[in-house]
Chain A
Amino acid sequence: MSRIRVLRAGGPRRLSVVSACLAAATLVLSACSSTGGGADGGNAASNGPIKIGVLLPYTGPFGLYGKPMEVALRARFDQANNKVDGRPVQLVFEDEATDAGTAVSKATKLIDSDHVSAVVCCATGAATLAVGPILAERGIPQLGPIPNPSGLSKYPTAAVAAPTAGHDATVLGRYAATSLGYKSAVVVASDFAYGHEVADGFAAGFTKAGGHVVKTIMAPLGTNDFGSYLSQVGDADVTFGGFAGADAIRFVQQYDSFGLKSRIPLIGHGPMVTELVLNQIGDAAIGVGAGFYYSSTLDNPANKEFLAAMAATNKPIVPSHFTAGAWATGGVLIDAIHRAGDQATDGKTLAKAIRTSHIEAPWGPLRFDPKTGYALAPTYYYEVTKDGGHLHHKIVGTIS
C-alpha cells in the first residue's frame, strides 16, 4: 500500500517531467518542419526547384513594409507561373525584424537549412550591410529590392535593384539649381544614415550646379515637434527636406502650419511624400515637389502592368516604391535565372547574370552599374496635387 502512495506522491513531479519532454519534442518537431525541405536536396540538379530566400521586415519599425513587398514579389512570380524555363522557383520568406542581428541569423538559416541560391535583402539598410559579408563569403548572390546605403559595391556577388538615395538627391539638387532656378537653399533632414545621405547628395548636386546651401539643420530621428527647427529656416529660395515615415508626416504638416510653405517652396527626396504617407499628411502636402526614381502615377506599360497585378491580388495595398521595387526584383531574378540556364544554382554565375540584367521596371529601364552593382534608373520630378479630392503625384518630367 505504501509503495502505491509513494508512487502517487511522485506524481506531480513525474507529470512535470513528462510535460517537459512533450514540450521539448514539440519544439524539436516544429524546428524541423520550419527548415522544411532541407533534407530533400536535389537543388544541385538542373531540374530541381531553385530556391530564393527573401528577407523582409514583418515586425519592428519597418514592419509595415514586409507583407506588401511579399505580395508584390509573389505576384511577379505568379505571373510567370512560378517557373523559369520549366524549372520551378520557390520563394522562402523570413522576417528580418528591422534588425541587423536578426537578418544575419535568418540569412544563415536560409543558406544552411533551405539551401537557397540567392537572397533578396533587405529593406532595412543596416540589415543589408550586415548580411552583405556573410552572403559574399558563401558566394550567394544578394539582391536589394529598394534603395540601400552604399557599401555593397565591394562584393561582386551583390546588387541593388534601385539607385542609392544619395543619387536621386544629387540629381534633384542639380535640377533645383538649374531648371527650377533656385539660387539658395536650406537643407533640413533626419539625423541618421539616410538623412545624411540625402542631405549630402542634394548639397553636392546643388552647389555643383551653382547654388548655395545657406543652412543645414539636422533633427533627431523621431522628432515630434519641429517648431524650433522650422523657426531657424530663415530665408532662402527653396527648402530641401530629407525625412521618411512618421517624421515626414510631421515635418511636412508643420512646415505648412508654420506658414513656411507659402513663403519658401519645399522639395524633398521621394519618401517624404511617398504614397504611403501622402493621405496622412493631408492638404499640407499640396505643392511639395520631390525627386525620385518611382511614382505610382508614372505612365508606362510596365507600371500599368504592375498596378494591374497588384489590384488583382485584392489586397488593400497602396502602391509605392517598396512594392514596385519588390516587383522589379522578381523581374530581375526571372531574367537572371533564365540567362544563367543550367548554372542558375551556381552563385557566381547567377550573380553575374543579375548584374548584367536589363529589364523594364515600373519606373522605366533597369540595368546595373557594372562597377558598383547598384541600379541605374531615371530620376523623375513630381509635385503633389489634389484632383477630385485625392492627393497624388503629378509627374513634371524626367530630370536625370
Chain B
Amino acid sequence: MSVADVGLQLALGLSFGLLLFLLASGFTLTFGLARFVNLAHGAVFLVSGYVATSLAGPGWRFLTAVLAAGLTGLVLSLGVYGLARLRWRQVGANELTQVLLTFGALLLFSDAARSYWGGVPRSFPEPEILSGSWSIGGVSFPVYRAFMAAAALVLGAALWWLQERTRFGAFVRAGVDDREMLEASGISPRPLFLAVFALSGLLAGLAAGIGAPVIGVAMGQEFSVLVFAFVVVVLGGPGSLTGAFVASLVVGIADAFGKALLPTFAEFTMMALVVIVLAWRPAGLFGRVAR
C-alpha cells in the first residue's frame, strides 16, 4: 500500500471510529454509572435514524432532521429508564432482568419502526455544502465524512468537558468509581441516572442522524449497532469515556485496515482484537476490576 493509501485507510477508520464513539459513549455511561445493561440502545439508534430520514430535506432541514433524531433518542431512552424504574428493586441490581427488559424494549421499538416505515431501508443525501470529495495524493476522501468526524469530535469534546469540568461530571465519575460512597455522601443517584439515560439517548440519536447519509437506516441495525457498542465498551472498560474514545478509534482503524488487507475476514479482525485485548487486560483498556 502506498503512503496515500495508508493515510486514506487511517482517515476512514478514524471517521467511522468517531461515529462509533458517539454511539458507544452513551452506552458506556449507563453501563458504568448505573450498572445498567441497556440493550434497547440499538433500537433507540434505529428509530432515531428513521425519524431523521422522514424529516430530512434540502438546506436547513438537514439540521432539523439531526436534532429531531437526537430528541427522539432522548425521549426513547428516558422511556426505557421509566420502564426500568417501575420495578427498580428487581431490575436495578439484577443484570439478567435488565437484559430481558431492555431486549423486550428493543423488540418493541424495532417492530414499531417496521410497522410505521414498512421495513424498507432508508437514507437521505448529504447537504449540498458538504457533498463532494477532496482529492489528495491520488485518493478521494468524501467531504461529508470529514464533517462527520468533526461533529463527533466536537460532541465528544463537549462530553469530556461535561465530565471533567462540571459538578455533574464529578458526580458521574464518582458514581462510576464507588456508588455506595456517592450515596453515602448524600447525593441521590436518581437524578443522575435520569440525566445519564437522557444524555445517552441524545448521543445515540445524534449519531443516527449524522451517520444516516453514510450508513443509512435499515432493519437489523438495532442489533449490528449494539454489537459495535458492546465491543467498544468491553474494550475500553465500562464507565470510562477515555476508554470508549480510544477503543472506538482502535475498532474503527482495525476495521478499515482489516477490510483493506483481509476483505473476507473483515468482521473477524474486529472480534479478534477484542479477544486479544481481553486476554491481556480482562477489565478492558481503561477499565477497573468490578468491586
Given the known interface contacts A220-B267, A257-B131, A281-B123, the answer about A250 and B220 at a Cβ–Cβ threshold of 8 Å is no
B244-275 with Cβ < 8 A to chain A = 255-260, 263-264, 266-267
- Residues of B contacting A249 in the complex (Cβ-Cβ under 8 angstroms): 121-123, 216, 218
Give Cα A257–Cα B218 distance, bound, in whole angstroms: 20
- Residues of B contacting A227 in the complex (Cβ-Cβ under 8 angstroms): 12, 16, 145, 256
Q: Which of A63, A246, A260, A276 meets B216, CB within 8 Å?
A: A246
- Residues of A contacting B123 in the complex (Cβ-Cβ under 8 angstroms): 249-250, 253, 280-282
List the one stretch of A22-30, A39-47, A228-236, A347-355 in contact with chain B: A228-236
Q: Is residue B213 contacting chain A, with contact meaning CB distance below 8 A?
A: yes
- Residues of B contacting A61 in the complex (Cβ-Cβ under 8 angstroms): 219-220
Give Cα A276–Cα B258 distance, bound, in whole angstroms: 32
Q: Is residue A222 contacting chain B, with contact meaning CB distance below 8 A?
A: yes
- Residues of A contacting B3 in the complex (Cβ-Cβ under 8 angstroms): none
Given the known interface contacts A228-B260, A282-B123, the answer about A64 and B118 at a Cβ–Cβ threshold of 8 Å is yes
In the complex formed, the residue of B with least CB distance to A63 is: B119
Check B133 against A257 for contact (C-beta < 8 Å): yes
In the complex formed, the residue of B with least CB distance to A228 is: B259
Give Cα A152–Cα B145 distance, bound, in whole angstroms: 45
- Residues of A contacting B267 in the complex (Cβ-Cβ under 8 angstroms): 220
Chain A nearest Cβ from B226, distance in angstroms = 13
In the complex, 14 of the A-B residue pairs with CB atoms within 8 angstroms, ordered by the A residue number, are A64-B118, A64-B120, A191-B264, A224-B214, A225-B215, A228-B256, A246-B216, A250-B215, A254-B142, A257-B132, A258-B142, A280-B124, A282-B123, A284-B125
Check B220 against A280 for contact (C-beta < 8 Å): no
Q: Is residue A149 contacting chain B, with contact meaning CB distance below 8 A?
A: no
Check A258 against B133 for contact (C-beta < 8 Å): yes
- Residues of A contacting B35 in the complex (Cβ-Cβ under 8 angstroms): none
Interface contacts (Cβ under 8 Å), in number, total 111
Q: Is residue A259 contacting chain B, with contact meaning CB distance below 8 A?
A: yes
Give the contact-size bracket for chain B.
35 or more
Chain B nearest Cβ from A60, distance in angstroms = 9
Q: Is residue A344 contacting chain B, with contact meaning CB distance below 8 A?
A: no
Q: Is residue B97 contacting chain A, with contact meaning CB distance below 8 A?
A: no
Chain B nearest Cβ from A25, distance in angstroms = 28
- Residues of A contacting B125 in the complex (Cβ-Cβ under 8 angstroms): 253, 282-284
- Residues of B contacting A395 in the complex (Cβ-Cβ under 8 angstroms): none
Q: Is residue A307 contacting chain B, with contact meaning CB distance below 8 A?
A: no
Chain A nearest Cβ from B84, distance in angstroms = 27
- Residues of A contacting B264 in the complex (Cβ-Cβ under 8 angstroms): 191, 218, 220
Q: Is residue A245 contacting chain B, with contact meaning CB distance below 8 A?
A: yes
What are the 7 A-B residue pairs with the smallest beta carbon separation, nearest first? Answer: A246-B218, A246-B121, A64-B119, A228-B259, A259-B140, A282-B125, A257-B142
Given the known interface contacts A224-B224, A257-B142, the answer about A276 and B16 at a Cβ–Cβ threshold of 8 Å is no
In the complex formed, the residue of A with least CB distance to B125 is: A282
Most B CB contacts (10 A, CB to CB) among A219, A245, A253, A276 go to A253
Check B256 against A277 for contact (C-beta < 8 Å): no
Q: Is residue B5 contacting chain A, with contact meaning CB distance below 8 A?
A: yes
11 further interface pairs, Cβ-Cβ under 8 Å (given A231-B139, A231-B260, A250-B123): A63-B114, A220-B267, A224-B224, A227-B12, A257-B133, A257-B145, A258-B133, A260-B140, A277-B121, A280-B53, A282-B125
Check A280 against B121 for contact (C-beta < 8 Å): yes
Q: Is residue B135 contacting chain A, with contact meaning CB distance below 8 A?
A: yes
Chain B nearest Cβ from A243, distance in angstroms = 11
Give Cα A218–Cα B126 distance, bound, in whole angstroms: 26
Give Cα A222–Cα B267 distance, bound, in whole angstroms: 11
- Residues of B contacting A191 in the complex (Cβ-Cβ under 8 angstroms): 264
- Residues of B contacting A253 in the complex (Cβ-Cβ under 8 angstroms): 123, 125, 213-214, 216
Check A229 against B263 for contact (C-beta < 8 Å): yes
Q: Is residue A399 contacting chain B, with contact meaning CB distance below 8 A?
A: no
Q: Which of B119, B141, B255, B257 meets A225, CB within 8 Å?
A: B255
- Residues of A contacting B119 in the complex (Cβ-Cβ under 8 angstroms): 63-64
- Residues of A contacting B9 in the complex (Cβ-Cβ under 8 angstroms): 228, 231
Give Cα A89–Cα B208 distance, bound, in whole angstroms: 47
Q: Is residue B144 contacting chain A, with contact meaning CB distance below 8 A?
A: yes
Chain A nearest Cβ from B131, distance in angstroms = 7
Q: Is residue A217 contacting chain B, with contact meaning CB distance below 8 A?
A: yes
Q: Is residue B55 contacting chain A, with contact meaning CB distance below 8 A?
A: no
- Residues of A contacting B99 in the complex (Cβ-Cβ under 8 angstroms): none
Chain B nearest Cβ from A153, distance in angstroms = 29
Give Cα A96–Cα B1 distance, bound, in whole angstroms: 46
Check B135 against A259 for contact (C-beta < 8 Å): yes
